[in-house]
Structure 1
Amino acid sequence: MSSLSSVWYTRCPAPTPLSIAHQLGWVDKQFQSAGVAVRSIRDSKDPSVRQSHFTHALDYSFRQGGNIPPIWARSGGRETRVVGITTTDEFQAIVALPGSGILAASDLKGRRIGVPRKPNSEVVDFQRATALKGIVSALSLGGLHQGDVELVSLDTDEGNLIERGNAAFLGLKRRYPYGDELLALASGKIDAFFVKGAEGIVLANQIGAVVVSEFGFHPDAKIRINNGTPRPLTVDARFLDEHFDLVVDLVATVARVGEWAVSNPDTAVRFIANEIGVGEDAVWAANGPNVHRHLALTLDDEQIAAFDHFKRFLLDWGFIPKDFDVFGWIDEKPLQAALRRTAA
């Protein structure tokens, strides 16, 4: 086993136990006790390092956030393992302007729905894939399919949302999504578009949008699964193979958040709001009154089956290069070891 001086980590601006564990100082403390420094991929000044947020290219790294980039990286051959999954449902909707005559999903027939697109992107276009999955789900609930609507691609040349310190952000940590869709809606180029999460619900509120179809809490997991539901905790295979005990420590630390959040709901939501860059009321509205009860780290059969279903969607729509075995991607050993340690 090689000695290890540092590890890399990254998380998405979203409700994840990894983000909360980081903000509590638990992750740094856990690795420091082993003499290992923790370095942030998102905060690196090196663009090639920041790219690993999507590619998972760095050895000795871990990530929790949207599932499209890790699915894409695994499909492309990157050897990673899923060592835990968090399922936190969130607001997902198709929205339109008042006066458009679009009041329900069935009214979308023959209408133009905006879909973001990043041409010539070196990494998976996760925003486009997310929007398309939401659109397909909404149409199915209205008895329609994608052939019944016009999908209008909205090209953007914006940099990755994980970049920080950009003067164009006007001092904020990041640029919020849906700007291109909002401009297209206001100019009459499109009739509706997909939003999700706290940022999506804030935008819908800001413009007084008609929520045409809302399905983030739909009872059918195949309807509501998307980039943010569920969110996997992934590690690269080399890290797991060479430093299994450190990965168990990591999993145990992140898993502690689930129980902690149940006892500290307001603080948990404040941490989530800080991560996303929105008000706490937006988190409660977008993720529901029990969001603090849905920050556990588990590996349930239903979660894994949902992953497999979404992987097939990404494959069918051409977002990932080739098929792979989702069930073989899961490694339950670190979580099982962490749970045994907690029980003892």
Structure 2
Amino acid sequence: MSSLASVWYTRCPAPTPLSIAHQLGWIDRSFQAAGVAVRSIRDSKDPAVRQSHFTHALDYAFRQGGNIPPISARSGGRETRVVGITTTDEFQAIIALPASGIRTGADLKGRRIGVPRKLDQTIIDFQRATALKGIVSALSLEGIGHGDVELVHLDSAEPTLIERGNDAFLGLKRRYPYGDELLALARGDIDAFFVKGAEGLVLANQISAIVVSEFGFHTDAKIRINNGTPRPLTVDKRFLDDHFDLVTDLVQTVHGVAAWAQSNPDQAVRFIANEIGVGEDAIRAANGPDVHKHLTLSLDDEQVDAFGHFKDFLLEWGFIPADFDVIEWIDSRPLEAAHRRLAA
């Protein structure tokens, strides 16, 4: 096994134990103990490196965040492994303006629902896929099919912040979602659109929206599964094969966040709010008052089944190029090794 000078990592602006472990300084300390530097994909000045946030193209890299990009990368042939999963449910809803007359999901039949669409196809259009899954879930609760509504695509050529680099937007570290949908709603081009998470909840609050359908905490995992639920911790296979102990160190470090968060609930919420760029009250409203209890890293059968369902959805809708076996994508060995260490 060759020595390793550095590893790459990336995370999404979302409630993840990896994000909290990073903010606590645990990730850097864990790898520094082995003489390995940790480099941020998101902070790189090289656009090709930053794109690996979506493509998982770099060797010796790990990632936790939305699951559409890693599913896409695996479908495209990238040899990665899921070594842990975090399920932190979040607000998911279809919203409309009060003047629309739309009050329930059943009222969406025959109406126009906005769907964001990126014109640049170099990476998977995860925002479009996320919106479509939310729309399909909402409609299914009313026995309505997607053919019973008009899906209005809202095209945008604007790059994501990760694609652009760290160019601040009016002094903020990231641009918030749903701008195209909000403008289309204000123009009268659409009647409703999908939102999720703390950013979506804040937007709905700001425009006094009607929450037509809310399903982020639905009892059926197949309804609430989406890009953010659940969020996998993935590593490339070469990293796992060449440096299993380092991957186990990583998994153990991230796994430790759950206990820390339960003992430090206010600070955990503060870290999540800082990562996303919203107020702490928005986190509690969007993710529930017990969000600090839902930062566990595990590999439960229900989580794996949810991944399989969502992978099938992405395949059915043409977002990913090929099918693959989700069970074979999971590698439980680092988490099992971490549990043995803790037990010892």
Partner of 1:287: 287
Partner of 1:189: 189
For 1:191 and 1:338, the matched residues in 2 are separated by 49
Shift in Å, 1:164: 4.2
Structure-to-structure mapping, 1:55-134, within 5 angstroms: 55-134=55-134
Partner of 1:319: 319
| Residue-by-residue CA offset, 1:53-104 (whole Å, 9 max, x unaligned) | 0000000000000000000000000000000000000000000001211000
In the alignment, is the contact (CA less than 8 A) between 2:130 and 2:226 conserved in 1? yes
How many residues were matched structurally? 343
| Residue-by-residue CA offset, 1:288-316 (whole Å, 9 max, x unaligned) | 01100000000001100000000000000
> Where do 5+ consecutive residues of structure 1 fail to align?
none
Structure-to-structure mapping, 1:1-344, within 5 angstroms: 1-162=1-162, 163-167=164-168, 169-344=169-344
Shift in Å, 1:276: 0.4
Name the aligned partner's letter for residue 258 of structure 1: A
For 1:191 and 1:220, the matched residues in 2 are separated by 27
For 2:160 and 2:57, the matched residues in 1 are separated by 16
For 2:239 and 2:171, the matched residues in 1 are separated by 36
Shift in Å, 1:165: 3.1
- Secondary structure of the structure 2 residue equivalent to 1:99: helix
Identity of aligned residues (%): 80
| Residue-by-residue CA offset, 1:33-71 (whole Å, 9 max, x unaligned) | 000000000011110000000000000000000000000
| Residue-by-residue CA offset, 1:11-36 (whole Å, 9 max, x unaligned) | 00000000000000000000000000
In the alignment, is the contact (CA less than 8 A) between 2:85 and 2:232 conserved in 1? yes
For 2:269 and 2:120, the matched residues in 1 are separated by 37
For 1:141 and 1:101, the matched residues in 2 are separated by 19
For 1:120 and 1:214, the matched residues in 2 are separated by 30
- Secondary structure of the structure 1 residue equivalent to 2:99: coil
For 1:161 and 1:201, the matched residues in 2 are separated by 21
In the alignment, is the contact (CA less than 8 A) between 1:165 and 1:171 conserved in 2? no
For 1:142 and 1:170, the matched residues in 2 are separated by 41
For 1:86 and 1:165, the matched residues in 2 are separated by 27
For 1:304 and 1:244, the matched residues in 2 are separated by 22
| Residue-by-residue CA offset, 1:191-215 (whole Å, 9 max, x unaligned) | 0000000000000000000000000
* TM-score, normalised with respect to structure 1: 0.99
In the alignment, is the contact (CA less than 8 A) between 1:164 and 1:173 conserved in 2? no
For 1:289 and 1:281, the matched residues in 2 are separated by 9
Shift in Å, 1:171: 1.2
Name the aligned partner's letter for residue 43 of structure 2: D
Shift in Å, 1:142: 1.6
Name the aligned partner's letter for residue 310 of structure 2: F
> Where do 5+ consecutive residues of structure 2 fail to align?
none
- Secondary structure of the structure 2 residue equivalent to 1:151: strand
For 1:251 and 1:165, the matched residues in 2 are separated by 28
Greater than 4 Å deviation, 4+ residue runs: none
* TM-score, normalised with respect to structure 2: 0.99
For 1:147 and 1:86, the matched residues in 2 are separated by 33
